[in-house]
Chains A and B, each alone.
Chain A
């Protein structure tokens, strides 16, 4: 416990310093509120506007979560198929990697046309597409980085391909998968919010941030960003926590 406090202390100190400098420089340099509101005002609005902001955050979070699960699940499935059948990989992988260079966000208006501009499905779709590729590529790399000696050892036991997959390839891939899921958890929230900037339900977080910014209510926009950040952190934390439970052997989760 004391060790954990010590580990977190530097980050907390830096965080507090940044907030203090932010707060202080606004009075010191007379920065206009529409340029940059005070942190204390943002937090205040976070509380006073809770009846609109929090449900909006929850609404958007559900979109992001749906996209996260769909995109990640597809990524794992495709990686498993590619990992199993090399021919499929040579056909799909170059296209998938080229597709990754496409700025997916640019498709947001089109996703709106496909799944309904106001519908949460179009936002989930964008989040899913954003999550898919990192999860697929990392899982595939994990499945392929099994130690050849371990596979050889399994062969010496006359192990089936399925047994090798279960006992060697999957455990090797798990740390890779979780690294990707952590990236995807952040991307899902970005996808959902940016999707909402192009149109969405009136009570969605992205729509609120966008409209508040347009009427120069920047404090509320910032408070909305704070809500989005906290939810993004929560999703990230949930993934990291699951990783800690599942990948107990990996170096970065060692407890000694």
Chain B
């Protein structure tokens, strides 16, 4: 059974009569790591939010774990990570991680045990009682990831989670994310602007084109796991990066120059 099944989803925004997504079909198998990449306005974040039932599609259906998306959200079937960490300033690191567990009605002891596991997982032992403002951007994003994974959702939705970080932190967190993903075996939908990040992380890269948002092509990434620093220097890595770039460029005739520049 597929974890996510997007069936001819279309999304139009009434304001400005914009078609954000047109006829999107996409299916994710358990344990896949799929990146959505494309220029601004291609609807990749909208697609992620539709999968999470945070915004409704105009037509078409989304099935998560064999259930309608609404049901899956109510069942707590996915965790989500945004571009900024969206931590609650008034909560300590451990209370932030415990938030979804509170909402699920876990008791205190169970929450505490799980939070400690998660702190280990994202290597933030010793920061449990810190407040978010006392952490660096990369550490905040790790807390956010720990929070999303705390209740072991089958599906992890990530909306440009490392977009606001510097290149070095970003590459380190890419490695950390992959090792967590391999450990937990969850399915990931990962929205990004960065071609190399998408290729490095994914089992498949979904390339999207804008106005209206469509899938321009899907590139399977046939590089072995675990991926390491050397992966980025592998000739195959460059071939795949080129392939994604060409797909973006081919569909990029109707890109604005700055959008094209952002991608290439």
Q: Hey, which bits of chain A sit against chain B, CB under 8 A?
A: 147, 149-150, 152-159, 163, 167-168, 171, 174, 247-251, 254, 256
Contacts and interface: CB of A to CB of B under 8 A. Distances in A.
B73 A171 contact: no
A256 B131 CA distance: 12
B76 interface: yes
Contact of B100 (A147, A157, A249): A157
Contacts of B131: 249
The listed residue with most B CB atoms (<10 A of its CB), out of A149, A154, A174, is: A149
B103 A150 contact: no
A153 B82 contact: yes
Contacts of A247: 90
A159 B103 contact: yes
Given A156-B54, A157-B103, A159-B103, A149 B73 contact: no
A186 to B, nearest CB: 27
Given A149-B84, A152-B54, A251-B133, A158 B90 contact: no
9 contacts: A152-B82, A156-B52, A156-B73, A156-B78, A157-B104, A158-B103, A168-B88, A171-B88, A249-B133
A254 to B, nearest CB: 8
Interface string B123-143: 000000001011000000000
Interface of B: 52, 54, 73-76, 78-80, 82, 84, 86, 88-90, 99-100, 103-104, 131, 133-134
Contacts of A155: 54, 73
SS class, residues of chain A in contact with chain B: helix
A249 B90 contact: yes
A140 B74 CA distance: 29
Contacts of B82: 149, 152-153
Contacts of B74: 158
A22 to B, nearest CB: 43
Given A158-B74, A158-B76, A249-B131, A153 B103 contact: no
A150 B54 contact: no
B144 to A, nearest CB: 9
B103 A147 contact: no
Contact of B86 (A153, A167, A254, A256): A153
Contact of B99 (A149, A167, A250, A256): A167
A66 to B, nearest CB: 31
A106 B52 CA distance: 56
Contacts of A249: 89-90, 131, 133
The 9 A-B pairs with the shortest beta carbon distances in the complex, nearest first, are: A157-B103, A158-B74, A171-B90, A149-B86, A249-B90, A156-B80, A249-B89, A157-B100, A153-B86
A122 B80 CA distance: 55
Nearest to A149: B86
Given A153-B80, A158-B103, A248-B90, 12 more contacts: A149-B84, A153-B82, A155-B54, A156-B52, A157-B99, A157-B104, A158-B74, A159-B103, A167-B99, A171-B89, A249-B89, A249-B133
Contacts of B79: 156
B75 to A, nearest CB: 8
A164 to B, nearest CB: 10
A38 B133 CA distance: 49
Contacts of B100: 157
B73 A158 contact: yes
A168 B73 CA distance: 19
A171 B95 CA distance: 14
A167 B74 CA distance: 18
A251 B131 CA distance: 11
Instruction: Kindly name the residue among A147, A149, A158, A159 whose own CB sees the greatest number of chain B CB atoms within 10 A.
Output: A158
A254 B78 CA distance: 35
Contacts of A167: 88, 99
A251 B134 CA distance: 11
Nearest to A147: B86
A150 B103 CA distance: 14
Nearest to A251: B133
Nearest to B84: A149
